[in-house]
Amino acid sequence: MFTYLRLFTIVAALGAIQCANSIAVQARATCEDTYTVVSGDTCIEIAAKFEITEAALIVGNPQIDGRCDNLFIGEQLCIPGTPSVCSDEYTVESGDICITIANKYNITVAQLESANPEIDAFCDNLQVGEVLCIP
């Protein structure tokens, strides 16, 4: 019985590793550019340099944690391109915030920000009448 459980655990772990590698390869496959981290870099600065959102940078680099405090000098980052296909468009209305727009279309805020690099990291620069891409 214990041998069967150990074998099951090993097979499950190998499957998880293969799945993680597949996700990493898919994320890397959408890189428009790459960037090598230098001393003092932050995600906000790197994202601004390539005119993408911090969320898009993190989504394109799953090894970066949510606080972006685990960058290391010499690390190669994927710089994702802006999605070229919008499944829908949304015109910003008074009082809109990213989470309500994302929820309306059943997407994440990171996906919304990634498709609309003009949205800043705090999502406090939405303009009434602005048309957003909904991925």
CB-based contact 82:115 (threshold 8 Å): yes
Mean pLDDT of 10-37: 54
**Model confidence pTM above 0.85:** no
pLDDT for 75 equals: 97
Q: For residue 62, what pLDDT band results from cuts at 50, 70 and 90?
A: confident
> What is the spatial distance between Cα 59 and Cα 87, in angstroms, rounded to a whole number?
19
Predicted pLDDT of residue 19: 38
Alpha-helix residue ranges (DSSP H) falling in 30-128 = 43-49, 54-60, 98-104, 109-115
Distance CA 47, CA 39 (A): 16
CB atoms < 10 A from the CB of 116, how many? Answer: 24
Do residues 54 and 41 make contact, with C-beta atoms less than 8 angstroms apart?
Answer: no
pLDDT grade, residue 15 (50/70/90)? very low
Measured between alpha carbons, how far is residue 76 from residues 38, 60, 111 in Å? 10, 12, 22
Element spanning 82, H or E: none
pLDDT at 47 over 60: yes
Q: What are the structural domains, with CATH classification, of the chain? A: 2-80 (3.10.350.10), 88-134 (3.10.350.10)
DSSP lists the bridge partners of residue 78 as: 34
Q: pLDDT tens-digit profile of 81-100?
A: 765 578 899 999 999 999 99
